[in-house]
Structure 1
Amino acid sequence: MGTSVPIDDSLSSQCFTPNSICYTTNNNINADEIPTIDYSVLFSSDPNIQAKALDYLSTACHNYGFFYLVNHGVPEYVFKSVFKAISDYFEPTVVEDRMKYQKKSSTDMIRWELRSSAAENREYLKMVTHPNYHSPSNQTTFSETMEDYYTRMREVVHGLGKAISKTLGMEESFIEKAFKLESGFDVSAMNLYPPNFKSKGSMGVPDHTDPGFFVSLIQDINGGLQILSHQGKWIDVNYMPSNAILINTGDHLEILSNGKYKSHVHRVVVDNNNVKRVSVATLHGPSLDAFVKPAPEFLDDALPPNYDGATYKHYLEANGQHLIDVQSNIQQFRHN
């Protein structure tokens, strides 16, 4: 069973982030605030500082399932290049080029769709980005820009795998091995939310959780995302720290930890905005052949398995869905 690091209340107001973003090391985080995690401090050479940073990460995973990640090593210019590349790709005058990636078969590695309804309002392009990188043809600048971003994000994936493993009281290679992350199946959705002048409160993306290890999100304009708290209250993600990545834990971290860390419900609401918004949400998953089930370390006589095990491929295809859909099926595998 994983153990948590004891908290020293005398350090509860100390700043551990080099860019002066502060967080408390006690567990009394405001329920309407999303924690900020300094990636670099998770690997501090000072064992006391690292232990407290990991304890805070544990609290963020256990109580929220969402956190901002700062000082992660991906430069701001990379984010700006990504947003420009996506905006250029979604130019209305070249929509015919995108239409060839409309849904065709279960083997699609690239998929485009335009949805405009009260239930969902966005244009998006999905691509499988790992273990093999797929990108639209004849889009050299776009392809190279996005591949650079995904390559950098893979370093973050491996780093968070080590850090979150430690928060669970395990060896740092625990998640890497359980999920076979070297061949992890990653799918990225590049979303364009159009200007919206009338339909206040309409859905950009309906309520859902996400499969996989975790989802990373970057966006060019704040607003839209809402997270459902344990108390059943929707929390607005109105502000992201500069150059931050929003992380939300996925279904398979919940399954592996037997519910210690939860995959949280969230949605995108399109309020009255007079500008378009671009976001990149990447689902970082286990290898398709990784069989994920509650680990023995999280089981005992009083706590039996809360989930059935399955390969990641079987999980994604459980209800006749395609791999690139990366839809949550956790209710089907969760014991009542």
Structure 2
Amino acid sequence: MAAMATDLPQQPVATSVEPSNMNSGVKVLAESTDLKSIPSEFSFVNEPTGSNSDSIPIIDFSLLTSGNPDQRSKVIQELGKACEEWGFFVLVNHGIQETLMKATIDRSLEFFDLPEEEKRKYESKHVSDPIKYGRGSVITTSDKKIFLWRDFIKSYVHPEFHCPDKPQNFREIIFEYAERSRFVARTLLQGISENLGLEEGFIEEALKLDSMFQLFAANYYPPCPQPDQAIGLPPHTDHGLLTFLIHNEVAGLQIQHNGKWFNTNSPQNSILVNTADQLEIFSNGRYKSVKHRAVVNNQSTRISVVIPNGPAPDAIVGPASPLVQRDGRPLYRPLKYIDYVETQLGNPVDGKVNLDYAKIQDN
């Protein structure tokens, strides 16, 4: 690990300008009885259809915590292969109670059902605000701002916990879900560290995982009258190490693999996990931060709850030194993690902007 971080590029922060014909969230717009087509501000032409694959990895978490060394060794190999080849896996038997996962989804839905003035208390004033409510936008290559077909609530939940006060029990449920997710994430990262051939405790110490950064995000995607003319979230990568996603059994997450988009179907009570930017950096490119997107439909409301699990906010993340020695050179420059997070959160979603900047270009 290098001792000094390299500054990230300063890019324009996304503003909170409202579409001209929309005074409230996308939920209110979608519930308009006369809505037959989307407003022009949401126009994002895409092909929302994805392929299905029987090859998407499934990781059995219970084998990772098994006392059987052969079973544990096998699943660690499967975990490494999933991170290298897909950058994504479906996690089963993870030990988080189904009732807690359902309560997390249900309370998130109740938040979006709150009166608009209650939700607007959390509208973002600055990228570093610990709680943010909004709708989101992306700037295209032509500098045209396009609004996303979603409402969201985001809050920092570790190492400091923040959460809206309403609905009832929202804070308690999110606190418990984040805590249990943290245990699962750290156990997975221990297995990943072993797969990379690192000494026991190396990843914990290097990334200061006792103070690991967690963000809670709930996304509300209402039915859209023109699903091929709008997008919930355009293709992007995530800023952390491992991102966890659960949903209300309405599909919408798609991942990119070998240039094709694949649907991510998941068994009940499973967690969808994708590798993110910091894991690609830390592994010196061995693992890949996978591009993914959220497509919308014209039938059902989709709710997703996302927990990005990252290093400590003040951790300086670069390629692990044993891997640099093994590979001959670092492929990424070291960066302070919280700077990376706030740069990405403050900018329109646009592919791998930060990760591309972190790469050390060949001379």
1:200 offset after TM fit, Å? Answer: 3.3
| Counterpart residue number, 1:333 | 358
Work out which of the residue numbers 272, 281, 301 in structure 2 matches 1:246: 272
> Are 1:57 and 2:59 an aligned pair?
no
Query: Does the 8 Å contact 2:252/2:302 carry over to 1?
Result: no
Q: Deviation at 1:282? A: 1.0
Which AA in structure 2 matches 1:233? K
Q: Which residue identity is paired with 1:221?
A: E
Of 49-58 and 297-306, the range deviating more from structure 2: 297-306
User: Which residue is equivalent to 1:195?
Assistant: 223
Does the 8 Å CA contact 2:317/2:334 hold for their aligned counterparts? yes
Q: CA RMSD in A?
A: 2.2
1:103-252 mapped onto 2 (5 Å cutoff): 103-115=124-136, 120-200=148-228, 202-229=230-257, 231-237=258-264, 239-252=265-278
Instruction: Tell me the distance in 1 between the aligned counterparts of 2:251 and 2:93.
Output: 22
Is 2:331 the partner of 1:306?
Answer: yes
**Residue 220 of structure 2: SS of its match in structure 1?**
strand
Contact 1:253–1:262 under 8 Å retained in 2: yes
Deviations 1:264-313 (A, max 9, x none): 111111133x2211110111111111111111211248631110001112
Determine the structure 1 residue equivalent to 2:110: 88
Paired residue secondary structure (2:224): coil
Q: CA separation of 1:214/1:208 partners in 2, compared to 1, >3 Å: closer, same or farther?
A: same
Corresponding residue for residue 39 of structure 1: 61
When structure 1 is superposed on structure 2, of 293-302 and 313-322 the one drifting more is 313-322
Among 103, 119, 122, the alignment partner of 1:98 is 119
Asked if the contact 1:201–1:270 (Cα under 8 Å) also holds between the matched residues in 2, the reply is no
Any stretches of 5+ residues in structure 1 without a counterpart?
1-29
Contact 1:131 1:183 in 2 (8 A): yes
1:241 aligned partner, one-letter code: P
Unmatched tracts of structure 2, length 5 or more: 1-51, 138-144
CA distance in 1, matches of 2:224, 2:250: 15
Deviates more, 1:76-85 or 1:109-118: 109-118
1:79 match: 101
Q: Say which SS state the counterpart of residue 274 (structure 2) adopts.
A: strand
Which fold has the larger relative contact order, with Cα–Cα distance below 8 Å and residues 6 or more apart in sequence? 2
Distance 2:166 2:295 in 1: 33
Counterpart amino acid of 2:306? A
How far, CA to CA, are the matches of 2:146 and 2:341 in structure 1? Answer: 26
| Cα distance between partner residues in 1 of 2:345 and 2:236 | 18
The one of 245, 256, 271 aligned to 2:282: 256
Separation (CA, whole Å) in 2 of partners of 1:292 and 1:126: 24
For residues 21-55 of structure 1, the C-alpha deviation after alignment (integer angstroms, 9 at most, x for no partner) is xxxxxxxxx96631110001012222112111111
Task: Provide the rounded CA distance (Å) in 1 between the counterparts of 2:229 and 2:271.
Answer: 24
Tell me how far apart the structure 2 counterparts of residues 212 and 240 of structure 1 sit (CA, whole Å).
22
Work out whether residues 135 and 147 of structure 2, in 8 Å CA contact, stay in contact via their aligned partners in 1.
no
Secondary structure at 1:279's aligned position in 2? strand
Q: Which moved more, 1:61-70 or 1:195-204?
A: 195-204
Change in Cα spacing, 1:234 to 1:183, as seen in structure 2 (3 Å) is same
What secondary structure is seen at the aligned counterpart in 1 of 2:172? Answer: helix
Once the two structures are TM-superposed, the CA of residue 320 in structure 1 deviates from its matched residue by: 9.3
Q: Which amino acid aligns with 1:192?
A: Y
TM-score (norm 1): 0.83
SS of the aligned residue for 2:115 comes to helix
SS at match of 1:329: helix
Shift in Å, 1:319: 7.2
**Number of residue pairs matched?**
299
Deviates more, 1:156-165 or 1:124-133: 156-165
